[in-house]
Structure 1
């Protein structure tokens, strides 16, 4: 446990927030998939009750991300009070780059939704295309940020 605390203490504020969002995104998508996939397999996926689980997953993921980021920030602040909320040009550059990377996947999901609408696909497919598009966007953007923090922008 002390290794995790040591790593968290040397991370800058923005990097901790990226990690918190990345962890929560992966866990949230995994939980949602585990809840919905068994119901969709072996039957008609369009008959699956997905709306409430999806909305709960999104809402709880937002709350969990805030809680994880806050708690991590408090722990890091106790270890290094001077560097807990500092942000600089490098953080802004990394955020811009990761947003561009993540948005590329969001655009692909949006195009997929347009195609599904044109084909008059069921809402189940349209909603899940957008949901997983948001998830992939957040995860890929988060991974790009983490790589940039660890290896630098080149």
Structure 2
């Protein structure tokens, strides 16, 4: 497995696990109070920071574990990344329409903010999956 494919796997795992933990915590708070009263800002900021740090640390660890795999990216790496980013852009462009509609409908900020976060998460997952499929099967 190339280093760039490892990076795609790391990105996918982090983009799946961290938001899952965030949504378990925050949506669990909805049982106790209404959406307007749920404290979601700090958990959202923490989840974002944790995801960035985990991604960096795991990428560095993967590079340290197999330094011979780390090297210049080739044309295939660039192509897979470009295709993944393109699909991620389409996903976020479509999914963000939901929180936009919620904002226009005057729904609580809780739902709008979490809808936007979910759009980013789905975009990241789609991007990573496209890159992984590219490495596994080609385009």
Q: What TM-score do the two structures reach when normalised by structure 2?
A: 0.93
Question: Is the CA contact 2:35–2:108 (under 8 Å) kept in the aligned structure 1?
Answer: no
Task: Write the distance in 2 (CA, Å) between the matches of 1:109 and 1:47.
Answer: 25
Task: Write the distance in 1 (CA, Å) between the matches of 2:82 and 2:18.
Answer: 24
Q: Mind listing any 5+ residue stretches in structure 1 that lack a counterpart?
A: 1-10
The change in CA–CA distance for 1:111 and 1:93 in structure 2 (over 3 A counts) is same
Deviates more, 1:30-39 or 1:104-113: 104-113
- How well do the aligned residues superpose, as a CA RMSD in angstroms? 1.3
Give runs of ≥4 in structure 1 deviating > 4 Å: none
CA displacement 1:67-89 (0-9 Å, x = unmatched): 00100111011xxx2x3123111
Aligned residues between the structures: 139
Partner of residue 44, structure 1: 34
Partner of residue 61, structure 2: 71
Question: Is the CA contact 1:106–1:137 (under 8 Å) kept in the aligned structure 2?
Answer: yes
Task: Write the distance in 2 (CA, Å) between the matches of 1:29 and 1:113.
Answer: 17
Tell me the CA shift for residue 42 of structure 1: 5.6
